[in-house]
Each structure stands twice: as C-alpha cells, then as structure tokens.
Amino acid sequence: MTTRRPLRARTAPIAAALIAAALASTLAGCFAGPYRTGGSLHSLDQYTYLSQPHTPKTVELVDTRTGEIVWAVDIPVGQQLTFRFYENRERENPETPAMMRWDMYEAKTFFGRKNNTLLVPPAEARRIDVHLRPGPEYRPMEPTAASAG
C-alpha cells in the first residue's frame, strides 16, 4: 500500500517558488541593478559612473537639438552616480517626454532606489558627456576624536 501526500503538501513548494519569482521581478523593476561601471550587462538604458582619486568625473546630459547642457553633476571621489532613462513618460510634452531617475551612492553599491527624477529629451535627442576633472582629488578625511578636541 502506498501513501500519497496531501495535495497541499505537493503544491506548497511550487507556490513558494512562484511567489519568490514574482517578488524578484517586482524588485528588479524598482532597483534595476546591479549597478556596475560599464552598464548593467543588459539593455536597461542605465549607466553608472564611479569617481576615484585619479579619475574624478563630471557627467553632463546634453540636448543635441540645441547643444544645451540640460543637467550636470560633479561626482565626489569615492562616490558613484547611477541613472536610468524611461521613455515616453510625459507624452504631452514633446521637448522632454522621457524621465531620468538618478542618485549618488557610495562607491561599488550594486543596488538601491534612485530618488531623484528629471524630465529629459527623448533618446534620439540626448547625449551623455563624461569629463575627467584635474586630479588627483581626495575624499575629505573624517574628523577623528583626537583632532576634534
């Protein structure tokens, strides 16, 4: 005589796997990581730039229709800038229909929520320029207990 496990016992692992897959896809949409210099290794239209002492960076977003710098940021040494573009967020606004979400993180942060947003030109009318600032630049030193006194 063979005994069979109840149906609930057989389907519980499948249900757990489906819930885990749904959660992972939801989190991937929120965080869209991992953040890596050189890109995320798949087509997310997401970019990460890291500033180091001998390669401090400034990133600019240029509207190629006008040549205007729409947005620029100096990335502090020891920090990284990650941003991602989302097309057709403001369809009624033909000048800046796309949205860019961005944030600054400690160097080598692989996941995080991008809390800043900006409406930007569409993909065919924008360019990312990266400039190296004169270096070396060093990160500000943290005050120690001995020097604070």
Condensed to tens digits (0 to 9), the pLDDT of residues 132-143 reads: 999 899 887 777
| pTM of the full structure | 0.69
C-alpha pair distances (Å), 88 with each of 45, 91, 94, 114: 14, 5, 9, 19
Domain-embedded: residue 2: no
| Domain span at 84 | 32-139
Q: Which of 16-20, 29-33, 138-142 has the lowest mean pLDDT?
A: 29-33
**pLDDT digit string (tens) for 69-95?**
999 999 999 999 999 999 999 989 999
What is the distance between the alpha carbons of residues 116 and 133, in angstroms, rounded to a whole number?
24
Domain-embedded: residue 21: no
Domain-embedded: residue 26: no
Domain-embedded: residue 25: no
As for how many domains the chain has, the answer is: 1
